[in-house]
Amino acid sequence: MIEKVTLDHFTIAKMSLEDFQEVLTISTSFPLVPWTQRMFLEEMANPLSHCFVAKLERNHGASVIGFICFRNVEDESELLHLCVHPHHRQKGIGKRLMQFYIDFCIQRGIHSFYLEVDPSNQPALHLYKGFSYNLLKVRKNFFQGNQEGWVMVKKTLKNSWHGNSMEGF
């Protein structure tokens, strides 16, 4: 079983308990909706959920520079959380995590992708629109009970994936 995929200068691997401290630090760098350790543990224990980290290889070992968590049910997927360390943003890491996510899901028969996003998060909106996500609806008082959230959707054609094998994930 393959445990990781290497993409250029960093590796995408399944999130492990050893990653928690770095993941929590990155999660709190985006103050709108940081996840708690309990939230990550619940997602990792959920058989429908998948959590992965991007790790930068260094001389003294690898450090987590981003993560992505999502849940697949039948032919739908919901992106739950995507975050990149502030020092590593605008370097294509979020884009590579998104491409990994979409390839992973399409290989498993996913055809509809959903996410919620704060409409003031322009870097996230730019990223999602680059992956053909479109506004589906607006949720009032979604984030922290006082900010609207946008529900976005991406649809793919059945049997449209022709990428590399990601067997083992």
In this predicted model, what pLDDT tens digit does every residue of 16-28 receive, in sequence order? 999 989 999 999 8
Mean pLDDT, range 126-154, rounded to an integer: 78
**Separation of alpha carbons 83 and 51, rounded Å:** 12
Q: Is residue 141 part of a domain?
A: no
Task: Report how far apart the first and last C-alpha atoms of the chain are (Å, whole number).
Answer: 7
Give the number of domains in the chain.
Answer: 1
pLDDT of 34 reads 75
pLDDT of 14 reads 96
Q: Which amino acid is at 95?
A: K
Q: What is the CATH number of the domain that holds 23?
A: 3.40.630.30
Q: Is residue 125 part of a domain?
A: no
- For residues 84 and 90, the answer to whether their CB atoms sit within 8 Å is no
pLDDT per position as a tens digit, 26-49: 998 876 667 888 999 999 999 999
Q: Is residue 58 part of a domain?
A: yes
Residue 74 zone, left/alpha/beta (φ > 0; ψ -120 to 50; rest) = left
Full residue range of the structural domain in which residue 65 is found = 4-115
Q: Is residue 158 part of a domain?
A: no
pLDDT per position as a tens digit, 56-65: 987 777 899 9
Q: Is residue 79 part of a domain?
A: yes
- The pTM score is 0.83
Task: Give the number of C-alpha atoms closer than 13 A to the C-alpha of residue 138, restricted to the C-beta side.
Answer: 6
Q: Is residue 80 part of a domain?
A: yes
